[in-house]
């Protein structure tokens, strides 16, 4: 099979635990692009955060952000695909979080909003390399389209929250985890699976010609959609079960290994 599109998750996939892209991985990505392969990122991160990573590896293509809710070009920031959390569901989620004392973040017009300056907000901002804006009045924000809404808490508690939210708003939104302590809510069509299907059509290739690489459960839609779904060696066990190939870990240049094997065919 000749592959024409590679969609790569960022955290714990492209990036090592030290939050870097290794020189070897950068070289492999450049070699794939040189062969005419369309390389893109597919991340839960917001666009400004993902853009910084894309610049590190010298990509100049549309990238998939906010779990698949936004596909935007890097150079001129043209929006190609966009989905927002339905207004009624967004309000219900905000009320639920307020009633249950949950930390909630809103993403409006590529800006990260929190109700108050807290350690959760600071830790998230440090990881994503994006500042947050404190806005105590979420009521005025919720009237605008939210690309994504994110809760931060203990992993076990968020598992319970996900179960409680399913009958409340699950018919209108997509609920997933990007990390054990991040529970994210997007539009039903704001998944990485929907986004790579859009990207394949956009560049004129079939889904059989797509490789998707990820490590967390929020990657499962694109791994199931792509012709070759790849789980990282450090991926969740249930993601490995549905993947067609399991590569090395993020600290062992797992992405480079996939490119070497399936694109460059040097291993």
Q: What are phi and psi of 94, to 5 degrees?
A: -60, -45
Q: Looking at residue 246, what is its pLDDT? A: 98
The reply to whether 87-187 shares the fold of 5-82+190-262 is: no
Query: DSSP letter at 10?
Result: I
Q: What are the extents of the domains in the chain?
A: 5-82+190-262, 87-187
DSSP 20: -
Nearest to 112 by CA among 149, 68, 161: 149
CB 45 within 8 A of CB 10: yes
Q: Which phi and psi (to 5°) does residue 63 adopt?
A: -125, 155
Q: Count Cβ atoms within 10 A of the Cβ of residue 86 and give its class: 0-12 exposed, 13-18 middle, 19 or more buried.
A: middle
Instruction: Provide the pLDDT for residue 176.
Output: 94
Look at the block and give the residue holding tokens 């993020």.
Answer: 250
Q: How confident is the model at residue 267 (pLDDT cuts 50, 70, 90)?
A: confident
- What does the pLDDT average to over 194-217? 97
How confident is the model at residue 156, as a pLDDT? 97
Whether 211 contacts 205, CB under 8 Å? no
At 1, the pLDDT band (50, 70, 90 cuts) reads confident
CA terminus-to-terminus distance, the chain: 16
What does the pLDDT look like over 212-259, one tens digit per residue? Answer: 999 999 999 999 999 999 999 999 999 999 999 999 999 999 999 999
Angle (CA) 215 68 141, round 5°: 120
Determine the pLDDT at residue 174: 97
Asked if 43 and 68 touch (Cβ cutoff 8 Å), the reply is no
Domain 5-82+190-262: top CATH class? alpha beta
Mean pLDDT of the chain: 96
Active site residues: 9
C-alpha to C-alpha distance for 138 and 22, rounded to whole angstroms? 40
Q: Please, which pLDDT band fits residue 60 given cuts at 50, 70 and 90?
A: confident
pLDDT single digits (tens) 139-162: 999 999 999 999 999 999 999 999
- Mean pLDDT for 77-100 is 97
Would you state the CATH architecture of domain 87-187? 2-Layer Sandwich (3.30)
């Amino acid at each position: 099979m000749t592959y024409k599109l590679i969609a790569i998750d960022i955290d714990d996939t492209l990036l090592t635990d030290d939050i870097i892209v290794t020189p070897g991985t950068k070289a492999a990505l450049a070699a794939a692009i040189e062969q005419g392969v369309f390389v893109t990122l597919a991340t839960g991160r917001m666009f400004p955060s993902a853009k910084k990573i894309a610049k590190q590896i010298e990509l100049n293509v549309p990238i998939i952000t906010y779990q698949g809710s936004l596909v935007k070009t890097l150079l001129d920031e043209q929006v190609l695909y966009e989905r927002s959390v339905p207004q009624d569901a967004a309000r219900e989620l905000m009320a639920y979080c307020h009633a249950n004392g949950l930390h909630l973040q809103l993403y409006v017009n590529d800006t990260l909003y929190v109700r108050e300056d807290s350690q959760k907000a600071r830790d998230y901002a440090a990881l994503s390399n994006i500042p947050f804006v404190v806005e105590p009045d979420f009521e005025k924000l919720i009237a605008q389209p939210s690309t994504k809404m994110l809760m931060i808490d203990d992993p076990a508690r968020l598992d319970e929250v996900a179960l409680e939210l399913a009958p409340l708003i699950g018919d209108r939104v997509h609920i997933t985890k990007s990390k054990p302590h991040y529970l994210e809510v997007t539009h039903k069509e704001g998944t990485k699976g929907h986004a790579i299907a859009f990207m394949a059509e956009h560049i004129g290739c079939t889904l059989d010609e797509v490789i998707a690489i990820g490590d967390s459960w929020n990657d499962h839609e694109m791994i199931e959609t792509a012709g070759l779904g790849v789980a990282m060696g450090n991926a969740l066990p249930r993601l490995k079960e549905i993947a067609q190939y399991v590569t090395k870990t993020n600290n062992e240049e797992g992405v480079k290994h996939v490119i070497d094997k399936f694109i460059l065919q040097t291993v």
